[in-house]
Structure 1
Amino acid sequence: MDPWELPPPVLRRALVSAGWSDDELARARRAGDLSRVRRGAYVDGHLPPAVTDRYRLLVRATVAGLRRDAVVSHESAAVLHGLPTWGLRLGQVHVTRRPPASSDVTRTLRCHVARLADDEVVVLGGLPVTDLARTALDLARCLPFEVAVVLLDDVLARRPAGRDELSERLARMVGTRGSRRAARAVSFADGRSESVGESRSRVLLHRLGVPPSALQHRVHTPEGLLLGRADFAWEAERVLGEFDGRVKYGRLLEPGQEPGDVVFAEKRREDAMRAEDWGVVRWTWHDLDRDAVLAERIGRALRARRRRGA
């Protein structure tokens, strides 16, 4: 669902001002005519099934209930921008106020205090929100490296020339808490990663000491015919790596195709690349949590190819 097509939440105080009683609100909730987004905020009908859509409603309802102006930021801004939510904590709504405000934390709200330049704030769906670069950097300063890379890869995929902007924004943050952590993630980020799984794979491969030499590597026949593109490549050993996520197959579906057709086409593509003397290693989401297994699988393939070339 388009995030801005979600029904807007309405506050209890507005309903009471319009003449609703608490008994009427309770009956409307029991009948399914109203659903509670949070305490004191409702939406017509049922809550949407998607977690991110429910969270967007929570953000809108929370901001509508604030007594003082604030800018949606951090995890909340990431969701509104449509950034990947892997590794994000969506229990609280995050906002930022400029000094001399004071920070505040409740069960559902976390208020940060920080300087915000005018060019770091945009309006999304009527809400003031930290822009894409500031949102990613704020999170990169406080979240684990792997999560930060996932977010920054997505930003760079959307904006291939965005690294200069990120570097300029980082210069503004020098000396602030987490700025060195964010700089490390920005240095590692690469917009050629096309999914959360590929970003996580890249972090893991470097941690395991087997970083690929190329991303989105194109494989051609000696005559120049393009056989396909692999997520990762170790060119010296002629080994290709593929993160095998289910979402990937859905993304490759052509009109009228079934998932099985895509799997078969992928098999033919892999066979064609193997015929050109490329080895292929595949891994899945499950393997990303089994460092030793993936390290052995890739290491074995690389050692075998090196022995062949000796």
Structure 2
Amino acid sequence: MTAEPTPVRRPDALSRGHTDGELRVLYTRQGWTQLRPGFYLPPGYDDGRESADVHRELIRATVPALSPDAVVSHQSATVMHPVPVWDVPLDRVHVTRNRANGGRRSRQLHVHSAPFDEADVVEVSGVRVFTLERAFADLARTVPLEQAVVIGDAALRKGSTKDDLLAALSYAEKRPGHRRAVHAIEMLDGKSGSVGESRSRVVLAGLAGPKPELQTSFLDHDGHSIGRGDFFFEEFGVIGEFDGKVKYGKYLRPGEDAGEAVYREKLREDRLRDMGWIVVRWTWAELQRPHLILAKLRRAFERRAIIGAPVGVFILAA
């Protein structure tokens, strides 16, 4: 079996006896990508890979050329930890230097200037990066709320606390975006298990009335588990479900294909409805049109008022 092509670094290639001319042929005639001078990706390397994987390679290619006092920061740091980022550009490596000014931006590098302590720095895979808390604090000041909540929820799932995030943000108390970041932290909940669920919570924040409980367990009349619901509006007996889980493998069991998981999910939903719950689903596409999701839920609330209280059993997540 032929080994999968791997990235090539110029110093490594020269040490093995290759020449600059041979490397030039790779990206001028053989379809390789020059990620940056002296670092090359084989053809199709990014096929099937997340953009974060390619960004990590760009970070590794960039760090050796940086000033020793530069620390990988912002979305580049979150990618190194790693936590998911959504709709945050990954075309440049972001680093921060501890100085009052001197920020600059090029095609592949964005250098920020901001104060930090060594306590804000950790080493990940041999690279000096900001802690996840500090990286989030920087991003939450500058990206839209939805993107900040996606990253912040993931940070909580990895063990950070809201107090940790607020402490990391303290350096920016008088800087632009501080209040925006505090608002994002107030909205975080580590029980959101995916990018789609985090984005859904931002949408649901625009719904007047009670806020949903997350990851509620539902039982049948014999006490057997039916499954969990993403968002549970207890007062209305309505379960909200973000319909993107199978794509990301959340429900896939070993040896199971997506079709089997979809069918099993349908059976779970049928059981929930049999127990009297109203189930409302929405998709990735509908997250782009949040008014459709809110309208679905309002109709479900109105339907519950007509048909009466549900008979199912549930257990709120701790």
Q: TM-score range by the shorter chain?
A: 0.7 to 0.9
**Cα 1:275/1:16, change in 2 over 3 Å:** closer
Structure 1 window deviating more from structure 2 (118-127 vs 25-34): it is 25-34
Residue equivalent to 1:112: 112
Root-mean-square deviation over aligned CA pairs:
2.7
Q: Tell which deviates more after alignment, 212-221 or 186-195.
A: 212-221
1:162-214 per-residue CA deviation (whole Å, 9 max, x = no partner) reads: 22211322334322221111111011000000111011111001124355331
- Indicate the residue corresponding to 1:59 in structure 2: 59
Tell me if structure 2 keeps the 8 A contact 1:33–1:44. no
Identity of aligned residues (%): 40
Aligned to 1:256: 255
Structure 2: gaps (5+ residues): 310-318
Structure 2 length as normaliser, TM-score?
A: 0.85
Aligned to 2:79: 79
Q: Deviations over 1:259-307 (max 9, x none)?
A: 2222222122112111221111011111111223222211100111123
Q: 2:39 maps to what in 1? A: 42
1:1-310 pair list within 5 angstroms: 10-11=9-10, 22-30=20-28, 32=30, 35-38=33-36, 40-43=37-40, 45-46=42-43, 48-49=45-46, 50=49, 51-100=51-100, 102-159=102-159, 162-209=161-208, 212-247=211-246, 250-309=249-308
Q: Is contact 2:85-2:147 (8 Å) kept?
A: no
Change (3 A) 1:106 1:219: same
Deviation at 1:151, TM superposition (A): 0.4
Normalised by the length of structure 1, the TM-score is 0.88
**d(CA) in 2 for partners of 1:262, 1:34:** 38
- Matched residue count: 303
Letter of the 2:135 counterpart: T
User: In the alignment, is the contact (CA less than 8 A) between 1:205 and 1:211 conserved in 2?
Assistant: no
State the Cα distance separating 1:221 from its structure 2 match. 2.8
- Return the alpha-carbon distance in structure 1 between the equivalents of residues 204 and 26 of structure 2: 53
Secondary structure of 2:235's counterpart equals coil
Letter in 2 for 1:227: I
Q: Which amino acid aligns with 1:10?
A: R
- Greater displacement, 149-158 / 248-257: 248-257
Shift in alpha-carbon separation, 1:185–1:100, aligned structure 2, 3 A: closer
Mapped to 2, the partners of 1:211 and 1:141 lie a distance apart of 28
Q: Which blocks of at least 5 consecutive residues in structure 1 are unaligned? A: none
